[in-house]
């Protein structure tokens, strides 16, 4: 996968993770299913890491 294709994926993953975290705070803990907790804990950091990786790869000069 090339770098320009990675950044939109990273943004989407991060946005889904942040939306899950916001849902946790808005709805409160007891009423939400387990996948919302998993999405909040996994998608936001994964999207952030993928975004950083994409930015680093795009800033390097081509050989």
Q: Decide if 24 contacts 37 (C-beta within 8 A).
A: yes
The answer to whether the pTM exceeds 0.85 is no
pLDDT digits (tens, 9 = 90+) for 17-33: 898 888 888 877 677 78
The number of domains in the chain is 1
For residue 58, count other CB atoms closer than 10 A to its CB.
12
Query: For residue 40, what are the domain limits?
Result: 3-59
pLDDT, position 45: 92
Torsions phi, psi for 10 (to 5 deg)? -65, -40
Q: Which residues of the chain have pLDDT under 70?
A: 1-3, 29
Pick the closest to residue 23 from 39, 9, 45, 10 (CA basis). 39
pLDDT, position 9: 92
């Amino acid at each position: 996968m090339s770098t320009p294709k990675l950044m939109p994926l990273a943004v989407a993953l991060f946005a889904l993770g942040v939306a899950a975290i916001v849902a946790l705070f808005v709805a409160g803990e007891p009423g939400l299913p387990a996948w919302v907790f998993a999405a909040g804990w996994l998608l936001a950091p994964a999207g952030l890491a993928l975004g950083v990786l994409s930015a680093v790869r795009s800033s390097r000069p081509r050989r």
